[in-house]
Structure 1
Amino acid sequence: MAITVPQNHSYHFQDVKVLYVEDEVFSREKLLRILNRRFSDVHVAIDGEEGLQLYQQYLPDLLIVDIKVMSSLDMIKTIRKHSEKVQIIVTTAHDDNDVFIQCIEYAVNHFILKPIDLDRFLLAIQKSVQQIQQEKEVLKHNQLTKALIETQDHLLFIEDHGHIVEFNEAFASFTGIDNTKDLQTSNLVAELFVEDPNYFYPKNKGKWIEEFFQTEKKYEKVMWKGKKGKQGIYLMKGSRIPGKKQILFVCTEISLLEEEYKKNDILSIMDPLTRSLNRNKFEELLSSEISRSERYNHPFSIILMDIDYFTNVNDYLGHTKGDEVLITISTIVQQRIRESDVLARWSGDSFILLTPETNSPGAMVLAESIRSLIHSFAFPKIGTVTCSFGVAEFSAGKSKIELISEVEQGLSKSKINGRNCVTFYNSSIGE
């Protein structure tokens, strides 16, 4: 039977349906008062048979069951077969190991002995509701993603021995093709591909289909450029039509999803304050540059810079002003370096630079240039801020740890020499 509650009641959990199974009148009425204050949709049964009927009718999110007779356990067993996600709270006056073991077997979420400890019961409800709401958020997100993909205008065409024999309106609109006479060969499709390391691009455009099917997954992400320069990113799927030697290609635009993915990817590697890379990403790029230098014998250097007396700024002017200094210095450096150079925040008040194709004299010139720019900049309400620098050059056989240690020693020497200067690491510093 369904419990009717006042419509103007203020509920804690309005989107959670509850099924309560209890045969004892006094216990049922007592607990129902608690449930009705928290849930807008509560159904109650007096035994397992009625409980199963109400479950099948209303499909509740939360099941609260008092275990007295086997029908209640049978009901839980049947419901659990139907749904692994429904939350189940069991109450019982029997401290019976067999019942407890069966509850574990049926994946009961919470097991509470009578007399019921109200705080423990409410905590179990809260945990169950949190899990239910999380599951609903995941489901909503999946449905939204699915709807976004399904509502895209798919580009569809059929290829037969190098000729496109069929295509849909979306494909025609994207390519600017009016009829199949304009599509003598599938090479026209090959011309749509835009070269980008993140997406499929055929090495031999005349054999793009063979290259496409070289992987077992039968789909690739592609960047295409169509009529009037229109460009988009598509998930391209190819499937052979049974009984024919034709291939159906379906291209679903995922430009918005890719843009969102790239935004999230960028956020995960950036220092949120200074908009430079974070330390983890820098070390990853440094490892790659070491491998590249070892392979091609190309030089590169790293520069470590530390703000002099930065703690004084935080202590006397506050952390907000300190953040402004960090942001300004990061901006100065990024405006000075090349596109190929990499800036990262190394620690609280230090930055590190990776300079590909740069030997130590070139790195020293760059470091001195940055030092001079920062020294001459007038920081609002602060005046002059200086930085100390260490420079180290990679050489064959040197490990990442050794290279970082060298640049740190160079920086330390600059601090010893009075700060606001640049020091290149050499063996005499190490000694």
Structure 2
Amino acid sequence: MEENKELREKAYEIIKRKGEFFSLKFQHSDLKTLLHELDVYQAELEAQNEELRNKELALINANVKNQKLFNEAPFPYLLLDNSLVIIEANFLAQDFFNFTKSKKSTVLFSTYIKQGEMKKFLNWIVSNEYKNNYLELDLVNFNKKSNRFRLYLKDYEKGKEGYLLSLRDVQKEVDLAEDLNKKNLLLNEITQNQENMIIVYDNEYNLLFLNDKFLEFYASKDISDFRIKYDSIDCTFIKNEGFFSVDTKINLHWTDMMINSEQKNNLILINEKKSDEVKAFIVSISRSKTDHIICSLSEVTDISLEKRKLEKRVFYDELTQIYNRAKFNDFLNTEFSFFKRQSLDLSIVMFDIDFFKDINDNFGHDVGDEVLKYLSDIVAKRLRESDIFARWGGEEFIILLKACSKEDACNFAQNLRSNIEDAIFPNEIKITCSFGVTATLPDDSIKTFLKRVDELLYESKRNGRNQVTC
């Protein structure tokens, strides 16, 4: 009996562990009941132990998997304690820093930071800047080789102390950037040493670059200063015959306008701000493989002046300083084709001085020359900018009126005839002129066009002179 009593007390003590409810429920139970309850309790404990063993196994597997991911990650990873001592390193980190198993738990990470960059690293950590931004600095491996790394730092999970440090080797990026920078510096040096002025636009015609030669010419400190002083580059081009200037009626950038110009004119005149001298440039325009527009302006002032002098001798009448017959024919060939192709009006006025031989005979050829010059001035002042005026030969003159109907040309000629008749020429001489006027016909050629106006002029002479025949 004593033995059963002792067994019952031991069984009851075990059951009490299940809690107060069970303690009260089985307080007066016999030994048999208590033993049965003990069997149930043991089964419950075994089930709980099995569940714990399964969880432990899952945790071990997860840790193994995480450790594998950590070790085989494509970037070097380090675990650091709060003192920045390396306590764990994955395979890539071990290779770079040449860690042994015993060494990595005693080495400060700062040992591998290149001299002069420690302050930057510590400030990054102390200021908590690492929580928002990465840091780039040079790390030195066991071979004393320095590489540029991008550092990403993360706190351990809650309840643990220390950091997880990820390293991205960006040395190739740095080398590539340095190489690109060297190439850019070389390209810039080559560009700056050019005798030409260089302009670069992007594909939307935004001004990107002006070399020093250009900035010096325009008395500008830099591209921003140039933009403040000038609305655009083409607004500085001087309008002059034989040189390119922008047509404001055409909605094109000046580079496209120059490329698409029928005359293929790439000569420009610009006033140099420093010397206040007008200089001539020939413009070369090209598109790069990156779709940038590159303009090179080569100064040809001396060549252009010589060319202009030569043209003056070849294409201008020496006495009156207006175009000669050869230049007029050159213009007529171009304009006739264009206006006919576009079905636009094109008219000619031809006139000569009545009884000019009498002036030469009575007053001398010197006075006759002055009359020719004076007449040229009177006519030139009454022309539009687009009209072309030339000495056709002797006392005969010709005017090409673009976009002008026959009716308007006749009215113009009548007014001009009246102005000449009213004018007083050198030596108080009075003169009159006879005119022929015509416009292009659908089946005209240049030959028929000129022949018709010549016949109309001589009809005016036959009919008494000082008149206009249209």
**What's the TM-score, normalizing by structure 2?**
0.45
Tell which structure's C-alpha radius of gyration is larger: 2
